[in-house]
Amino acid sequence: MSAESAATWDLDGHQVRITHPDRVYWPESGITKGDLLDYYRSMGPVMLPHFVDRPVTARVFPEGISGPSFYRRNRPRTAPEWLVGVEYETETDHHTLTVPVIDGTAGLIWFANQGGIEFHLWASRRPRLSEPDLVVFDLDPGEDTPFDAVLQAALDLRSLLVELGVSSHPKTSGGSGLHVYVGVAAGPGFEATRGWVRDVAGVLEERTSGRVAVAHGSTHRGTAVTVDHAQNSIGRNTAAPYTVRARPGAPVSTPLEWAEVEAGGFVPGDFTLRDVPDRVRERGDVFAPVLNDRNELPPVR
């Protein structure tokens, strides 16, 4: 990062103060806070269409990935006036929260400068926060499951969705699994979409003799690839497309083409902060089609 860019950035007509750009956030690879900020500044135009009107949760690591962290679910009181939020009443205690919505690169950089490494998005948009426009199949491998099994589970899922007449779009989680997204038409609430994902996962469990399984409680155990249908709940959020993850090597939750899933030969950690911008320059946003998908969710059985 240059000396000029280490003080104040003019973004979307807003002045965003940049602090401590030389702080090392990934000690094993020497990646700095400045590198993270540069990544989000360059990737903002690609990421932000997926953020439009969606509440955001930032996972904040003020000292880098080796230090303490917390989830920022509320719009901070210290946030500038131009960083917008939307009110949401929790279902359990009916407490009203103002959850942040990032509508420009300035907001992305403001959160990242506060130590926000990861960005996670709701599956619904304001003003209809109780009506999801996305369904997420969160494919989690067990501790003894090779990643090739996750790829096969994703292909098994795609085959079933094709039978149902539903289009789908894969991405790495940036961790150990895969996410498969389905854009949905307005109408069903979270209970309906969650139930639909559970039903699809149940059919997969039968067809694969348990290689793919419906999640019951904790995931990431055993040898099966589990489908965490509970991810489709109001207030739950999933790693945003192209978000960096606070893991060694700075992996990125990277959208994929189905041909790449078929070919295999990679693990999620192969896609990192250092190389994803070049990938996007070459391929464009391969996740863009999900923005316009409006699938009806047909009966599964």
| CATH number reported for the structural domain that contains residue 11 in this entry | 3.90.920.10
What mean pLDDT do residues 17-46 have? 97
Angle of helix 33-47 versus helix 105-113 axis, rounded to 10: 160
**Would 18 be classed as within a structural domain?**
yes
For residue range 252-300, what is the model confidence (pLDDT) as tens digits? 999 999 999 999 999 999 999 999 999 999 999 999 999 999 999 999 9
For 12, the token pair is 């979307």
Going by C-alpha positions, the residue among 69, 4, 40 that lies closest to residue 247 is 69
Q: Are 74 and 88 in contact (CB under 8 A)?
A: no
- Domain tally for the chain? 1
CA distance 140 to 138: 6
What pLDDT is stored for residue 152 in this prediction?
Answer: 98
**Would 53 be classed as within a structural domain?**
yes
2: left (phi over 0), alpha (psi -120 to 50) or beta: beta
Q: Residue 75's domain spans which residues? A: 4-129+237-246
Q: Are 157 and 212 in contact (CB under 8 A)?
A: yes
What pLDDT is stored for residue 2 in this prediction?
Answer: 46
What mean pLDDT do residues 31-56 have? 97
Instruction: Determine phi and psi for 110, rounding to 5 degrees.
Output: -60, -45
Q: With cut-offs at 50, 70 and 90, classify the pLDDT of residue 218.
A: low
**Would 185 be classed as within a structural domain?**
no
For residue range 64-113, what is the model confidence (pLDDT) as tens digits? 999 999 999 999 999 999 999 999 887 777 788 899 999 999 999 999 99
CA distance 299 to 1: 53
The average confidence (pLDDT) of the chain is 94
Going by C-alpha positions, the residue among 234, 223, 240 that lies closest to residue 173 is 240
Q: Using DSSP, how many helices (H) and how many strands (E) does the chain show?
A: 6, 17
Decide if pLDDT at 5 tops 80.
Answer: no
**Would 285 be classed as within a structural domain?**
no
**Would 14 be classed as within a structural domain?**
yes
Instruction: Report the share of the chain in percent with pLDDT over 70.
Output: 96
CA distance 295 to 301: 17
**Stretch among 18-22, 25-29, 161-165, 222-226 having the lowest mean pLDDT:** 222-226
What pLDDT is stored for residue 157 in this prediction?
Answer: 98
Instruction: Determine phi and psi for 130, rounding to 5 degrees.
Output: -90, 0
For residue range 119-147, what is the model confidence (pLDDT) as tens digits? 999 999 999 999 999 999 999 998 889 99
Q: With cut-offs at 50, 70 and 90, classify the pLDDT of residue 6.
A: low
Terminus-to-terminus CA distance in the chain, angstroms? Answer: 55
What mean pLDDT do residues 196-203 have? 97
Write the CB contacts of 268 (distance below 8 Å, at least 6 apart in sequence): 147, 172, 173, 174, 175, 176, 177, 178, 251, 254
CA distance 130 to 23: 40
**Would 73 be classed as within a structural domain?**
yes
What pLDDT is stored for residue 143 in this prediction?
Answer: 87
